[in-house]
């Protein structure tokens, strides 16, 4: 049998090539002995790689590139607007993460080259996952995303919690992956295809309503729900978030979520669209559980990272509303909210990193007490971030939630819209607690004997937060306000992404 | 200048003021920040007048203008623009809001002079005015919701302005929570209406009002009413308003009397084409308004905290307005909104002056005989009291009677409301003049005597009047100095202006004489049914209102004006059960505690204990103390059991999901 090489659209693939190529360059540069190269040039190269990916993505916008077209089937990887939006989100999150890690402890412990190379590899996996039109590619993307993250979680090797976090994530993550793979296998078994279009044909035909197919859908939803922190598959989230080095947590929180939702949208809304009446009610129930669990879980937290972890669970529930309705509006709303979610979370994590380095309180809420007076340039971004996460008007989080509710109401899930509103109402309690701590409480007095040692370690001499932390915090905070007041540019992008799946 | 440009500038002024004061306020010396804030609002007022003039110069058909700044979000199903609706209703609200706000800002320049948070106060106050103006100018549901939420946030910030006072922060949280409930109602209501009409735009929605009637519309309107009740402190969402008196007195005057709390009335009036289509929703509004106006007045009869008496009176008066606009008396309701803004702001300002003279003390039990010491405050209080009691020719007399006239004219069961309205009018006169007789008549208390000798009473150790806790005068607490109207020119100007307005404000709509307000608002309410009550009913109503007002004052004099209020004591002893019931505010707080707060508390504790103990404390404590060496950390974590629990939960969830599908198949 003559093997025919698949047709590869190199231009279309370029955003991923930039990431993987960057990973190799960074890895090699990390081998150089000069401290200057390792500590300055390597992060810089990583930023260049992310930036190149972002730029190439912009170049490819609207091209709808289909790469890896094997004979007689659909492309396994599509660089349509949905994939590119996820690429943008991942690249922006990547740049921010590199900036946050630049002078952090983690890359120094794990060796700089390896740290950033893992970050870039994971990002490439995320893009691949969001663009996968084939079950095999999808799984490949998932693993390429996950494995580097397991390692990244454990990069602060001399801190127990970091190791614990990495190991827990690995074990639970593997369980999730196994479940996901099993689900994919069942779907393949039921429909006879690994290609999403073949699956769609199969599901519309005789395989529709088949127990095998339905079980497969169930298992894949669990697998993706795990990555997206959907309850009740979220248990790894608080531990994983808290234990991992904070810059890595930031990356995990925003980029993984974008990739998981990108893949979920494509798999469910393209491949399994005809089974929508079967999976939509379930997903709506999961969304409700997630919103309740996330918001209740966040209520009593005193660690900011744990708080954001539970909040990310709740936010995943809101995002699910856009998936449930399986409409072009739903996809747009989900993508829009993912972009917004990235901005507000990056602002929060940048402030947490800054305060971790500056105070002995780690990520405890005490670390931000009173910074309204002493560090207004950090207090404002965190305030904006919290208000936006809670969905207060004039922030991007408000219009994002509005959009999701609109999609839910439009798709006949008014009750889910109500759940979102009530969920955001509950969430005010814990977000406002952080805001109150910043503005209404006095700064917690200096180091006492029993206080934890400085976690930062990075620059022991650094008394004030470094400029790059301010840059990330202020840029992300400003973007949150900007897109809250003038959301139309982002709307246009999200609408294009929504149309790319060919839904109504 | 076109009306729309002017209207945009009305919004721009306080926003600029907020930003300016927020960023650079600290750099400004002395009372300059206060004057900057006042000037910003004065600018708003001037532009509102310009908009008004331009609107009047247009033909009657062209008095509904929509202006869009830019497309906010235009996608498949939502089409939201940054648009304002300029029509007589929004202009009237802009004039009232910016005008009264300007005077209260001026008052605060002096009144808040000794407070450490002077700049912050004016930044918040400007932000509030911006939000309120945005609310009344909004041209679609989206901006309405934005303004609505902003106003709630501003109210929270100002109630807990003295944020180191525990009672103030508690009150702020209470107000915020109830207001968020209202926000949720408003948002969901807007979505219900959007579902039927397909547009968020006001005029677009109203155009198809007749086609969208049905269950969804009624549900949507009742949800909007939840929003209105929360903001306007109507039963059962009213308990935050009396507590909100923890805020500085100018805040009580501006937000919790004159402007924000009337947002609900504005909302119902704005949505009148929809309420016309749904009698059920309108009836809900009418009945709740009537219940509130009665209940609040009865509590006002016994409350002893000066500001709380006025707060209950506010609730009661807004009850009149809500009842009016819900029953179709749109112009009358808005008329009362306007006059009430004048006389209630005046009463609060006078109360603030009086409280200052007492050194921060608010209890009526401790006040007596301030008439000679504070002649100007006394005069202002009397003018406000006469207007509130509805004595002719003061403004409140005309506006209240106008509402009851239309309600009575509806006939049917509305007659009950008519009677309730007049019974409450009598109580209104009684509780208003009870305050005046108790605070200004009788033998002067030491503070009053001190003031007569030319010295404002000063407390050495400031205490929280609500709890008696000792306090600081540092930032986050009330400042050390007190200012009274007799000694501060800005306060005098503000109160004097409002006193004039409270006296003559009724002139815009005198039955059988002037119809200015009616004509002005005609373009907005053109499609609403007209009421044409008989002459006999008009005169009967006017005579009855006047008689009840005078009778109420006489009763108040008999009970509290004579012999230092001995009759009052005897009355209380004669009817202990009634007194206890009223002084406990009809046990609404306890009811809400029982029905809402406690179950929520259980829920929260469940969340904390189950989630925290199992997942947080378990891993945290177990994780750190159990693991000794880094080398074994990984293994330990694996064996801690928690990981197993996680995996087990994952599998249970997995099982549930698969089971769901199997049941489906």
pTM score over 0.80: yes
Judge: A214–B652 Cβ closer than 8 Å, yes or no. Answer: no
Judge: B662–A214 Cβ closer than 8 Å, yes or no. Answer: yes
Mean pLDDT, residues B141-159: 88
How many beta carbons lie within 10 A of that of residue B365, not counting itself?
10
Ramachandran class of B627: left when φ > 0, alpha when ψ lies in -120 to 50, beta otherwise: beta
- A206: helix, coil or strand? coil
pLDDT of residue A138: 92
Nearest C-alpha neighbor of A376 from the set A343, A398, A354? A354
Q: How far apart (Å, rounded) are the C-alpha atoms in residues A114 and A102?
A: 13
Which chain A residues contact residue B634 at CB under 8 A? 163-164, 167
**Contact yes or no for B245/B160 (Cβ under 8 A):** no
Highest mean pLDDT among A67-71, B50-54, B620-624: B50-54
Residue A186 tokens, joined: 């069942």
Mean pLDDT, residues B331-335: 88
Q: How far apart (Å, rounded) are the C-alpha atoms in residues A46 and A13?
A: 19
> Which residues make Cβ contacts (< 8 Å) with residue B468, sequence separation at least 6?
none
Provide the residue range defining the domain that includes A16: 10-499
Q: How far apart (Å, rounded) are the C-alpha atoms in residues B257 and B352?
A: 13
Q: How far apart (Å, rounded) are the C-alpha atoms in residues B129 and B102?
A: 10
- pLDDT tens-digit profile of B179-219? 888 888 888 888 888 877 878 888 888 888 777 777 788 88
Q: Which residue of B has its CA nearest to A229?
A: B650
Residue B111 tokens, joined: 């009144």
User: Touching check for A218 and chain B: CB below 8 Å?
Assistant: yes
- pLDDT cut 70: percent of chain B above it: 91
> Chain B interface, mutation test: which of A334, A402, A435, most B Cβ atoms within 10 Å?
A402
Is residue A2, in this structure, part of any structural domain at all? no
Residue-level length of chain B: 665
Q: Angle, nearest 10°, between helix axes B263-270 and B118-137?
A: 10
- B530: helix, coil or strand? coil
Put simply, the chain A residues between 159 and 178 with a CB less than 8 A from any chain B CB are 160-161, 163-164, 167-168, 171-172, 175-176
- A487: helix, coil or strand? coil
CA distance A176 to chain B (A): 8
Judge: A175–B650 Cβ closer than 8 Å, yes or no. Answer: yes
pLDDT of residue A460: 46
**What is the 3-state secondary structure of A13-26?**
HHHHHHHHHHHHHH
pLDDT of residue A20: 93
CA distance B625 to chain A (A): 11
- pLDDT tens-digit profile of B281-304? 888 889 999 999 888 888 888 888
pLDDT of residue B412: 78
User: Touching check for A488 and chain B: CB below 8 Å?
Assistant: yes
Put simply, the chain A residues between 18 and 47 with a CB less than 8 A from any chain B CB are none
How many beta carbons lie within 10 A of that of residue A295, not counting itself?
25
Residue B662: which of A211, A306, A329 has the nearest Cβ? A211
pLDDT band at B42 (very low <50, low <70, confident <90, very high): very high
**Contact yes or no for A22/A49 (Cβ under 8 A):** yes
How many beta carbons lie within 10 A of that of residue B594, not counting itself?
11
Average pLDDT, chain B: 81
Q: Helices (DSSP H) in B441-532: which residue ranges?
A: 446-452, 489-504, 516-525
Name the DSSP letter for residue A198: H
Which DSSP string corresponds to A449-470?
Answer: TTSPPPS--S-TT--SPPHHHH
Residue A235: which of B145, B195, B646 has the nearest Cβ? B646
Angle, alpha carbons A308-A313-A314 (nearest 5°): 95
> Which residues make Cβ contacts (< 8 Å) with residue B314, sequence separation at least 6?
B233, B241, B256, B257, B261, B340, B344
Judge: B660–A218 Cβ closer than 8 Å, yes or no. Answer: yes
- pLDDT tens-digit profile of B522-577? 777 877 777 777 788 888 888 888 888 888 888 888 887 776 667 777 777 777 77
Mean pLDDT, residues B430-456: 83
Question: What residues in chain A have per-residue pLDDT under 70?
Answer: 1-5, 70-73, 207-208, 444-465, 504
Which chain A residues contact residue B661 at CB under 8 A? 211, 214-215, 217-218, 278, 282
- pLDDT tens-digit profile of A18-47? 999 999 999 999 888 888 888 888 999 999
Which chain B residues contact residue A169 at CB under 8 A? none
**Contact yes or no for B87/B524 (Cβ under 8 A):** yes
Question: For residue B614, is pLDDT > 60?
Answer: no
User: Touching check for A426 and chain B: CB below 8 Å?
Assistant: no
Which chain A residues contact residue B163 at CB under 8 A? 440
**Contact yes or no for A355/A370 (Cβ under 8 A):** no
pLDDT of residue B640: 47
Residue B661: which of A172, A175, A278 has the nearest Cβ? A278
Question: For residue B358, is pLDDT > 60?
Answer: yes
Please tell me the total count of domains within chain A.
1
Which DSSP string corresponds to A352-378?
Answer: HHHHHHHSTTTTBGGGGTTHHHH-HHH
Q: How far apart (Å, rounded) are the C-alpha atoms in residues A251 and A331?
A: 22
Residue A172: which of B604, B634, B647 has the nearest Cβ? B647
Is residue A151, in this structure, part of any structural domain at all? yes
Nearest C-alpha neighbor of B285 from the set B205, B236, B228, B338? B228
B518-530 as b/e: b if 16+ CB within 10 A: bebbebbbeebee
Q: How many CB pairs under 8 A join A and B?
A: 169
Question: For residue B455, is pLDDT > 80?
Answer: no
pLDDT of residue B361: 81
pLDDT of residue A449: 39
pLDDT of residue B563: 66
- pLDDT tens-digit profile of B2-25? 888 888 999 999 999 898 888 887
Judge: B646–A299 Cβ closer than 8 Å, yes or no. Answer: no
Judge: B73–A403 Cβ closer than 8 Å, yes or no. Answer: yes
CA distance B150 to chain A (A): 7
**Contact yes or no for B150/B122 (Cβ under 8 A):** no
CA distance A124 to chain B (A): 27
Nearest C-alpha neighbor of A183 from the set A237, A233, A222? A222
Judge: A209–B665 Cβ closer than 8 Å, yes or no. Answer: yes
Judge: A409–B194 Cβ closer than 8 Å, yes or no. Answer: yes
Nearest C-alpha neighbor of A154 from the set A146, A143, A145, A165? A165
User: Touching check for A394 and chain B: CB below 8 Å?
Assistant: yes
- A65: helix, coil or strand? strand
How many beta carbons lie within 10 A of that of residue A84, not counting itself?
30
Put simply, the chain A residues between 285 and 344 with a CB less than 8 A from any chain B CB are 286, 296-297, 299-301, 306, 328-329, 332
Judge: A428–B180 Cβ closer than 8 Å, yes or no. Answer: yes
**Contact yes or no for A137/A25 (Cβ under 8 A):** no
What ipTM does this complex have?
A: 0.76
């Amino acid at each position: 049998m003559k093997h025919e090489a698949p047709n590869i659209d190199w231009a279309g693939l370029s955003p991923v090539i930039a990431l993987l190529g960057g990973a190799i360059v960074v890895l090699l540069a990390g081998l150089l002995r000069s401290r200057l190269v390792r500590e300055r040039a390597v992060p810089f190269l990583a930023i260049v790689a992310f930036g190149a990916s972002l730029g190439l993505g912009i170049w490819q916008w609207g091209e709808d590139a289909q790469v890896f077209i094997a004979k007689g089937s659909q492309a396994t990887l599509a660089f349509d607007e949905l994939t590119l939006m996820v690429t943008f989100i991942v690249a922006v999150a990547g740049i921010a993460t590199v900036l946050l890690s630049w002078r952090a402890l983690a890359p120094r412990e794990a060796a700089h080259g390896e740290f950033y190379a893992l970050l870039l590899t994971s990002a490439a996996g995320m893009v691949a996952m969001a663009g996968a039109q084939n079950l095999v590619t999808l799984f490949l993307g998932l693993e390429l995303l996950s494995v580097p993250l397991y390692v990244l979680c454990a990069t602060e090797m001399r801190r127990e919690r970091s190791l614990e976090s990495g190991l827990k994530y690995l074990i639970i993550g593997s369980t999730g992956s196994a479940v996901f793979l099993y689900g994919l296998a069942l779907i393949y078994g039921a429909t006879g295809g690994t290609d999403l279009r073949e699956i769609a044909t199969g599901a519309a035909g005789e395989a529709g309503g088949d127990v095998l197919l339905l079980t497969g859908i169930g298992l894949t939803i669990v697998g993706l729900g795990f990555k997206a922190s959907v309850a009740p598959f979220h248990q790894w989230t608080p531990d994983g978030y808290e234990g991992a080095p904070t810059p890595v947590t930031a990356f995990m929180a925003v980029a993984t979520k974008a990739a998981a939702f990108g893949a979920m949208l494509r798999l469910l809304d393209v491949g399994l669209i005809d089974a929508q009446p079967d999976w939509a009610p379930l997903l709506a129930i999961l969304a409700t559980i997630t919103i309740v669990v996330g918001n209740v879980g966040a209520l009593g937290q005193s660690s900011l990272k744990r708080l954001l972890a539970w909040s990310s669970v709740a936010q995943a529930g809101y995002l699910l509303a856009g998936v449930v309705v399986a409409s072009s509006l739903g996809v747009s709303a989900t993508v829009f909210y993912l972009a917004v979610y990235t901005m507000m979370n990056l602002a929060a994590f940048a402030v947490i990193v800054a305060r971790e380095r500056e105070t002995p309180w780690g990520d405890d809420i005490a670390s931000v007490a009173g910074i309204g007076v002493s560090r207004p340039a950090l207090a404002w971004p965190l305030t904006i971030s919290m208000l936006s996460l809670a969905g207060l008007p004039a922030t991007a989080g408000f219009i994002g939630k509005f959009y999701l509710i609109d999609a839910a109401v439009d798709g006949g899930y008014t009750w889910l819209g109500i759940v979102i509103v009530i969920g955001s109402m509950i969430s005010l309690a814990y977000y406002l607690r952080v805001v109150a701590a910043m503005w209404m409480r006095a700064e917690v007095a200096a180091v006492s004997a029993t206080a934890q040692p400085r976690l930062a370690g990075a620059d022991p001499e650094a008394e004030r937060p470094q400029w790059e932390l301010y840059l990330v915090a202020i840029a992300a905070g400003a973007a949150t306000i900007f897109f809250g007041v003038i959301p139309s540019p982002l709307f246009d992008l999200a609408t294009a992404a929504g149309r790319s799946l060919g839904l109504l | 200048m076109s009306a729309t440009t002017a209207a945009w500038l009305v919004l721009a002024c306080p926003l600029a003021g907020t930003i300016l004061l927020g960023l650079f306020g600290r750099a400004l010396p002395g009372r300059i920040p206060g004057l900057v804030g006042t000037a910003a609002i004065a600018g708003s007022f001037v532009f509102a007048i310009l908009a008004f003039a331009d609107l009047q110069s247009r033909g009657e058909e062209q008095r509904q203008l929509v202006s869009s700044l830019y497309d906010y979000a235009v996608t498949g199903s939502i089409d939201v623009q940054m648009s304002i609706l300029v029509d007589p209703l929004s202009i009237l609200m802009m004039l009232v809001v910016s005008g009264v706000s300007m005077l209260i800002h001026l008052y605060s320049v002096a009144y808040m002079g000794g407070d450490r948070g002077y700049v912050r106060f004016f930044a918040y106050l400007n932000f509030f005015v911006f939000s309120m103006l945005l609310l009344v100018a909004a041209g679609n549901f989206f901006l309405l919701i934005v303004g609505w939420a902003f106003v709630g946030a501003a109210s929270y910030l100002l109630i807990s302005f003295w944020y180191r006072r525990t009672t103030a922060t508690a009150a702020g949280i209470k107000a915020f929570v109830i207001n968020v409930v209202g926000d949720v109602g408003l948002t969901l209501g807007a979505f219900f209406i959007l579902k039927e009409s397909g547009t968020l735009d006001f005029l677009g929605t109203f155009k198809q009002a007749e086609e969208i009637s049905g269950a969804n519309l009624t549900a949507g309107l009742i949800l909007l009413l939840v929003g209105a009740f929360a903001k306007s402190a109507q039963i059962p969402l009213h308990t935050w308003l009396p507590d909100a008196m923890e805020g500085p007195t100018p805040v009580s005057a501006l937000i919790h009397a004159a402007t924000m709390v009337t947002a609900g009335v504005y909302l119902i009036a704005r949505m009148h084409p929809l309420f016309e289509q749904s009698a059920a929703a309108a009836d809900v509004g009418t009945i709740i308004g009537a219940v509130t106006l009665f209940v609040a007045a009865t509590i006002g009869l016994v409350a002893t905290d000066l500001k709380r008496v006025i707060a209950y009176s506010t609730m009661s008066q807004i009850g009149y307005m809500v009842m009016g606009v819900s029953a179709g008396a749109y112009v009358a309701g808005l008329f009362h909104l306007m006059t009430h803004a004048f006389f209630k702001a005046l009463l609060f300002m006078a109360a603030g002056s009086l409280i200052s003279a007492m050194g921060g003390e608010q209890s009526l039990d401790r006040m007596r005989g301030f008439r000679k010491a504070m002649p100007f405050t006394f005069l202002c209080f009397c003018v406000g009291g006469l207007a509130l009691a509805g004595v002719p020719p003061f403004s409140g007399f005309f506006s209240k009677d106008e509402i009851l006239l239309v309600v009575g004219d509806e006939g049917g069961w509305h007659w009950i409301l008519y009677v309730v309205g007049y019974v409450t009018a009598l109580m209104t006169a009684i509780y208003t003049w009870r305050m005046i007789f108790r605070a200004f008549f009788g033998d002067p208390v030491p503070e009053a005597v001190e003031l007569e000798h030319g010295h404002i009473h000063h407390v050495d150790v400031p205490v929280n009047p609500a709890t008696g806790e000792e306090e600081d005068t540092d930032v986050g607490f009330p400042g050390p100095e007190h200012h009274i109207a007799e000694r501060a020119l800005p306060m005098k100007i503000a109160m004097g202006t409002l006193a004039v307005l409270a006296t003559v404000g009724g002139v815009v709509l005198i039955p059988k004489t002037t119809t200015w307000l009616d004509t002005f608002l005609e373009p907005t309410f053109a499609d609403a049914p007209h009421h044409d009550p008989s002459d006999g009913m008009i005169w009967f109503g006017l005579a009855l209102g006047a008689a009840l007002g005078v009778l109420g004052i006489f009763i108040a004099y008999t009970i509290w004006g004579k012999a230092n209020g001995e009759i009052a004591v005897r009355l209380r002893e004669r009817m202990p059960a009634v007194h206890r019931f009223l002084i406990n505010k009809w046990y609404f707080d306890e009811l809400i505690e029982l029905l809402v707060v406690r179950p929520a508390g259980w829920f929260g504790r469940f969340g904390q204990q189950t989630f925290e103990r199992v997942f947080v404390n378990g891993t945290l404590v177990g994780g750190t103390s159990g693991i000794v060496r880094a080398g074994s950390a990984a293994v330990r974590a694996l064996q801690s059991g928690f990981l197993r629990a996680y995996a087990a939960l994952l599998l249970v969830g997995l099982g549930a999901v698969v089971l769901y599908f199997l049941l489906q198949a």
